[in-house]
Structure 1
Amino acid sequence: MDFTLGYLTEAISNYDSSSVAKRISLKLEKGQFKTERDLVLTLDEDEIQFLNNVLPDEIKYAFNEQDFIRGNQLNEVYELLI
């Protein structure tokens, strides 16, 4: 798994009460995705909507904490969704 998917897995873990987050986490655990694009291509509409809702906050948090690498990596996934 690449670093971007690792950051995404960590960000999604903050929402483990959501069934959609659990589905995405399961895909990440079971999938053998080489890139974030490979993952995005497997997402259904609910999963895409979920990530579209949570990633802006996760990206903002990362930049506020001056974790620019994490923020940029999560932004890569977000850009693939829109």
Structure 2
Amino acid sequence: MDFTLGYLREALSNYDRSSVCHRIYQKLEKGSYESEKDFVLTLEDDEVQFLNNILPDEIKYAFDEQDFIRGNQLNEVYEQLI
């Protein structure tokens, strides 16, 4: 799994496993993606919406905690969504 997607999977584990969150997490667990772009291309509209809602907060939290690597990695996924 792409290093960046590992950070995304970790971030998702902090959320209530709604059906959308669960589907995204399962894709990360079962899929073999070369890059975050490959992963994003497999997402459905509601999954993209979910990630668009949570990633800004996750990125902000990472930077607030001075975890710049995590913040930058999550930002890479976020950039692929938009």
Q: Which residue does the alignment assign to 1:21?
A: 21
Deviation per residue, 1:4-45 (Å, 9 max, x gap): 000000001111332111000100111011111110000000
Structure 1 runs, 4 residues or longer, greater than 4 Å off: none
TM-score by length of 1: 0.96
Structure 2, gaps ≥5 residues long:
none
Q: Which residue does the alignment assign to 1:36?
A: 36
**How many angstroms apart in 1 are the aligned matches of 2:55 and 2:70?**
11
Structure 1, gaps ≥5 residues long:
none
How many residues in Structure 1 have an aligned counterpart in Structure 2?
82
RMSD: 0.7
TM-score by length of 2: 0.96
> Structure 1 residues 61-70 or 14-23, which shifts more?
14-23
CA positional deviation for 1:78 = 0.3
